Amino acid sequence: MSTASSDERRNAASAAARQGVEKLSEEVEKIQMEIKTLSAKMSQIAGESLNRAQEGVMEGVHEAGEAVKRNPYSAVAIAVGLGLVLGALVRR
């Protein structure tokens, strides 16, 4: 009889372990799906942010070009001034 009850306990423990493993496996699958969803969303947000940044840079470049066309002498003076300052800093 003790053999039968120990077999029953072993079988019950084995069944409980299988059930636990199955539940854990389901939870892992849910987490993996959530990670995939979050990853896709993060990728989309990063792409949108990159596009906005590129548009901002292009707009700034366009505005700088227009400012140079409107005030060419000022642009040359600013470039010369920056060149002198950077040259002085590099020499130190």
DSSP assignment of 15-75: HHHHHHHHHHHHHHHHHHHHHHHHHHHHHHHHHHHHHHHHHHHHHHHHHHHHHHHH-HHHH
pTM over 0.75: no
Whether residue 28 has pLDDT greater than 70: yes
What are the extents of the domains in the chain? 2-91
Spatial distance between the Cα atoms of 92 and 86, rounded to a whole number of angstroms: 10
User: What mean pLDDT is reported for the chain?
Assistant: 91
